[in-house]
A and B are shown apart, each in its own frame.
Chain A
Amino acid sequence: MEFKYIAIAICLILTIVFFVQEWRRPNRARLGWRLAATGIAMTCFALFIIPITYKVQKPERLNEINLLSPGVSKAQVDGLKGRTVTSDRQLYQSLKIPGLTLITDLPYFLQSEPGINHLNIYGYGLSKDQLQELKDYQLDFYPAAGPKGLISASWNSRLKNTEQLSLQGTYQHVGKLPVKLLLQGLGTPMDSLMIKTEGENTFSLKARPRQSGKAVYHLIVMQDKDTLSKEPLALEVKPAKPLRILMLAAHPDFEYKFLKEWFFEKQYPVILRSRISKDKYSTDFLNSERTNVNRIDKGLLNKTDLLIIDEEEMSMLSGSELGAINTAVDLGLGLLVRISMQKPGTAISKYFNRYESPALKNKSLTVGFSEGKHFFNPLPFEQTLLIRSGPEDQPIVVEKTGKVLVNSRISGMGRLTGSVIPATYHWLLNGQNTDYADFWSEVLTQTARKAPLEESWYMEPAIPAPRQKLTVTVEQALADKVPVIAINGGKLSPLQNIELPFQWQTTAWATDRGWNALHLNGKTEFFYVYGNEDWEGQRNTIKLKNTSAFVNAQKLNAKSLETSVLVNKQISLWWFFIPFLLAVTFLWYETKML
């Protein structure tokens, strides 16, 4: 303050001195101009020392904070205005930006500062539970760039013996160098895949686990010889229940014979009845008890999961027998019809619309599953009879050119499958046992009766981490009985679904890493709790999606109130410097002119 006045005083004195000097100069030419120039120069000089400021009104959101979550980048938070907080200690230490405060708990913090009504969320966002707490706040979400690497994966973690493990997922690939995804289990590499293109890549890896019981496999991402990440895959293999099979043959043939032997060695209960003459049969009971199979009735079919029959035999069955088969299929029996005739013989086989194609004449037959790209070794015969697949049908096995050979459709609870392939035993004769096993496993598994489970359960999230909330959903056959659920010995109280009385739900917390026991109605099941560092990409992707979905839903709320404040603004010094320079120049030049 004092300096300001002193400066003004000095400037005034100087101005008066200069005025007097100009006035008293002998040459009085351009006196008026000179005085004016002196005045301007001195005024401007004074304004250099004391700049002019003025006040402007500016809006400011006082009750707003920035919340940083993991994944946020330094560039994103640089120059953030307002209060910035984070509850992540690691992030707080790594970012090191001024004005960032570490809060211990977000709900507690918000409770203690009731004035806050707006949150800007940066990074991957918050978990579902945390978001629920922010229901009454206005939110804005500035998502971080999507996570790289394995961003999603899912697999069938509860398998039956010899069932295939199928791992599918998405990989976000950056950079030019290709990466290799390797599925490894029990010390053996099982399947691998190269990813070369940048961006999102879906992948699918398959393996047949060898152990029976629990094991943790690994999905390893490698670049050259460097391991980029190693994610665990927990899975459990349980013994498989055998299929009960009934085969009815119009006459003995090799296809039945080899199939029978194959089932026999796999310890499946098989009954093979082949017709010798009218009402005379030869019957094999393999791994099963002797019963009367001369008449096909409800009792026999109820004890069967799969009926394999050829069309000729079907047309020789009586009407009541066919009726029994029809009813059994509607109740869940799987029926595989071996089609060899051009015209359907019975009502059941009418579902399979067949035609002859000369295109396959004089060629060996190469078949494969309709979904896969893999084809089996060729079968050494020509196949002209084919099935025309309708809109209600599901083709299972197709020929190389896509013509359908095995077709399936649902009929009530059961499944009806028709096959025109007359002989597959050539694979066994040629030593291609794997082809034979793969073919029949797929066809029969698709067709066989679905055995209803006593109870089933699933868990949300699929990849739990310690200290995460788990939602266990149980479905059980008995609707009126409360299921007994316990995790690691701690009993849980389930809640019945109002609409679906057989569904029960309960929540628990993941405590221990590794395998955890879930007791369900006296049976022990297992689930695996992963580490916090496992499947991070997937967890972050889920967070990102959840947060943006939640924020978008919240957007309907009103805008936050805005108050205005006065802000001092300064006029640029250049505005004074230029007149000062002109005035001084004039004064100097004026003396030279004379």
Chain B
Amino acid sequence: MVEQGTEKRIQLWKIQWRLARLFQLMAVSLGLSLIITTVITQLFSWTSWTIVMLFSIFLLAFIIGSLKNPFWKINALSISRYLDAQFPELEESTGLLLKSSAKLSVLERLQQQKVHGVIMKIPAPKEPLRKLGWSILLLITAMVLSFGISSLKRLDTLQKAAVAGQGTSVVKEHIPAQIASFSLKISPPAYTALSESRQQQFAIRAATGSVVSWEIRTNEPVKKLKLIFNDQQVATLASTNGQGLEWKFLKAMNQAGFYQIELDGKKSDLYQVTLIPDLPVSIRIRQPKPHTTIDFGQAQRVNLMLDLSDDYGIKDASISATMASGKGEGVSFTEKKLLFNTTFNNSRSMSLNKTIDLKSLGMKPGDELYFFVKALDNHGQVSRSDVYFVSIVDTTELMSMAGMTNGVNLVPEYFRSQRQIIIDTEKLLAEQPRLTDEAFKNRSNALGIDQRLLRLRYGKFLGEETETEIGADHDHDDGHAHEEGHEHEGGEEHHEKEEAKPTQKFGDVKAIMDSYSHKHDIAEDATFFEPELKAQLKAVLTEMWSSELRLRTYKTRDALPFEYKALRLLKDLQQKSRAYVAKTTVKVAQLKEEKRLSAELDKITQPNQQNTFEPKDKKNTILKLALSALESRKTGMMFNTEASALLRETEKYMVIAASDNPAVFLPALKEWRKLMTGGKLSEIEIARIQSAIGKMIGPEQALPQLPSSTPASTLYQKYFNQLKGGGTNGI
């Protein structure tokens, strides 16, 4: 009896636990699947697959969960173990209760009975329920989260809708009364990849080339329905149902402007057509600079980095490169098309990288590369960048004497020295294997000293003070040397001069001061060159510094690039002061010597030209007259026949202006139409039309005027001429 009570209780627990575990698993996997599904739909917008995905994820999670924690494996034994662990008063003996007392020993039986009493008293374990509670909490959280995420998405679409709403900007339109309903379908061209849109508004704002289809339903049968574009093209619509109630029309829009609907001869308001053009690809080259020079020792390659962007998509891009080699008359050009090894998936913007290896292009020192980037958008519009220059310095050219033999020679011996240093360096490097380390170092050091001397000499041009007397001859003893020179001249004159000298210098304070003062830099000496030239000279010195450093630290090979660069810069400096004009061949007619300088002019004809300016159109004249006609209308006067003819003429120009620039001129044209059909306009509305016409006339420029004098000029004429005579006659 006793056993049966406990058995029952444990069995009950078992069922409860199993159920709890089952629900717990289901809740957890449902929660997980909810969150994952919403996140995925959010990211990839696979809205149609939501249910399937939710179910499969749930199933997967449930199976995994139940395999890990199988609910069906919960049995009395596991419950008893749990009870043992949880309740010490059971004295690890719950297991005894599951066995029939017949199989037990006496001691076991005693214990069983004891435990039985205890087990009936202990409360039902809360653990499974608590776990279930947690998992339900998880489910609720997951539901809240997924709801939150999906509503986030909705917010986003709301924003998008708001933005789209702004783009199309709802305008209040006057729609003819006969039109019951209408809708416009705008299908942008395929290359734009824009989606079709539908609108309940006549004003059109679309990409150029969009196909617009009108569906108009009238509330009474209409015989004729026309669409008039820019007051020029007239499209007569055919009724779709034959009763004159439903109308349909399709047109590809390629010209901006305006249009209106004509229902049985009754014209509607004007509706604006704004077209958004497709712009060509914009190319922005970030690297290299427009002019790049590759010096000796630098890697002969150019790293090209650029950004492309287009409003609808880029189809293709390539580099068009032209190599120029040779010089003088023997220049040859080779063209090449370089491709970017990427695919252009009609993406709107992309950054490209390309390393142009000049050697593989077959470029030698002295050659130049001109290149530009060409890009094609998906509408077939081509755009190209500026031309960029890359040149490789030719070292042999630098070494040549061509620049020395002609033209202005600033300081030739110094240039020769730099060249000499390069030659010596190269010679030293060639001989290096045969030399002892000591000798090599010595010679390298000697070259370094030469380089230093050279640098100091150039430093003098910049007015730099020397650290020693080596570079510059700082002649303080100039005066003495001079005097000595005089003494050596000898002869009788010399004596006279000697005597004359003190008298010359007597009283010359400056001369006396000179002999006592230590004169250093004179400000003018320091400004031999223009600032630009000085900057370049400084750059030369920097290169020489670097070269000297390498030479004297026995990194002779490293010094070479710097030496070359110094030489190149020097050469540039030298050529600064020269301009080269190429010789051209001219063929001159043979002079007739007998006719030259005879001073006879009788055969010379006098050229006469006559021309009269024919103004192309009278647009401005008409518009100006229209302005004052409108002005009189402001006071309430009606137009007379003359003014009406003038205004009809003006309308032509207004229509042209409105179709060219509907945003500015269309509102004025609408009001104009209202005025011409006899509508009453306020002064402000007329002023608006006038303002638009004023814009069409454009800014007014001054013209010389014929001044006018008062009538009865004879009196004044006498007076003025008396004024002139007054001065001389003394009146």
Contacts and interface: CB of A to CB of B under 8 A. Distances in A.
Interface of A: 160-164, 186-188, 208-216, 237, 240-243, 264-268, 276-287, 290, 294, 305-306, 330-332, 410-413, 433-434, 437-438, 440-442, 444-445, 448-456, 475-477, 479, 500, 502, 514-515
B711 A410 contact: no
B710 A453 contact: yes
B686 to A, nearest CB: 8
Contact of B608 (A279, A285, A475): A285
Contact of B721 (A285, A413, A514): A413
B687 A186 contact: yes
Contact of A452 (B606, B629, B700, B708): B708
Interface string B626-637: 011111101100
Contacts of B609: 283-285
A240 B700 CA distance: 14
A277 B635 CA distance: 64
Interface in B584-617: 601, 604, 606-613, 615
A283 B613 contact: no
Contact of A264 (B604, B611, B686, B688): B611
B702 A282 contact: no
A477 B629 contact: no
B625 A241 contact: no
28 contacts: A186-B631, A186-B687, A187-B687, A208-B702, A211-B624, A211-B627, A212-B627, A212-B628, A213-B624, A216-B634, A237-B628, A240-B703, A241-B706, A264-B611, A265-B613, A276-B604, A277-B604, A282-B608, A283-B608, A285-B610, A286-B613, A441-B702, A448-B707, A450-B708, A451-B707, A475-B711, A476-B711, A477-B711
The 8 closest A-B pairs by CB, nearest first: A213-B628, A187-B687, A187-B691, A211-B627, A502-B712, A444-B704, A441-B702, A450-B709
Contacts of A476: 711-712
Contact of A279 (B601, B632, B706, B723): B601
Contact of B703 (A162, A285, A410, A477): A162
B711 A210 contact: no
A290 B608 contact: yes
B720 interface: yes
Given A213-B628, A410-B720, A412-B724, A453 B709 contact: yes
Given A277-B601, A283-B608, A188 B705 contact: no
A71 B694 CA distance: 41
Contacts of A437: 701-703
A450 B707 CA distance: 5
A291 to B, nearest CB: 10
A338 B610 CA distance: 25
Given A188-B691, A283-B606, A434 B699 contact: yes
A410 B723 contact: yes
B628 A455 contact: no
B720 A210 contact: no
A391 B127 CA distance: 118
A213 B629 contact: yes
B105 interface: no
Contact of A186 (B606, B627, B706): B627
Contacts of A215: 627-628, 631
B689 interface: yes
Contacts, number: 192
A281 B612 CA distance: 20
Contacts of B195: none
B671 to A, nearest CB: 11
B613 A187 contact: no
B405 interface: no
B303 interface: no
B713 interface: yes
Contacts of B706: 240-243, 305, 448-449, 451
B601 A164 contact: no
A187 B688 contact: yes
B621 interface: yes
A162 B711 contact: no
Interface of B: 601, 604, 606-613, 615, 621, 624-625, 627-632, 634-635, 686-691, 693-694, 697, 699-713, 715-717, 720-721, 723-724
Contacts of A242: 706
A162 B710 contact: no
B690 to A, nearest CB: 4
B627 A411 contact: no
A258 B628 CA distance: 34
Contacts of B601: 277-280
A453 B708 contact: yes
B707 A284 contact: no
B628 A211 contact: yes
A441 B615 CA distance: 21
Given A267-B613, A448-B705, A449-B707, 15 more contacts: A188-B694, A211-B627, A212-B627, A212-B628, A243-B705, A265-B613, A285-B608, A285-B611, A330-B724, A332-B717, A413-B720, A434-B699, A445-B704, A445-B707, A448-B706
Contact of A164 (B690, B702, B707): B702
Contact of B712 (A164, A433, A479): A479
Contacts of B689: 187
B606 A282 contact: yes
Contacts of B700: 162, 208-210
Contacts of A448: 704-707
Nearest to A442: B702
Contacts of B624: 210-213, 237
A78 B706 CA distance: 60
A214 B701 CA distance: 20
Given A186-B690, A186-B691, A210-B700, A163 B705 contact: yes
A282 B607 contact: yes
A237 B703 CA distance: 14
B656 to A, nearest CB: 19
A211 B621 CA distance: 9
B407 to A, nearest CB: 28
Contacts of B691: 186-188
A497 to B, nearest CB: 11
A443 to B, nearest CB: 8
A281 B723 contact: no
Contacts of B630: 186
Contact of B690 (A163, A187, A290): A187
A23 B119 CA distance: 138
Contact of A287 (B612, B631, B704): B612
Contact of B704 (A188, A243, A277): A243
Contact of B631 (A161, A211, A285, A450): A211
B711 A267 contact: no
A438 B610 contact: no
Contacts of B604: 276-277, 280
B722 to A, nearest CB: 9
Q: Which of B700, B705, B720, B724 has the most CB of A within 10 A?
A: B705
Given A186-B627, A240-B703, A456 B612 contact: no
A205 to B, nearest CB: 16
B604 to A, nearest CB: 5
Contact of B606 (A164, A209, A268, A280): A280
B485 to A, nearest CB: 42
A455 B712 CA distance: 9
A242 B706 CA distance: 6
A290 B613 CA distance: 15
Given A187-B690, A188-B691, A287-B613, A160 B712 contact: no
Contacts of A240: 703, 705-706
A249 B625 CA distance: 39
A456 B711 contact: yes
A494 to B, nearest CB: 14
Nearest to A263: B704
A159 B629 CA distance: 17
Given A210-B627, A448-B704, A475 B723 contact: no
Contacts of A209: 700
A160 B609 CA distance: 31
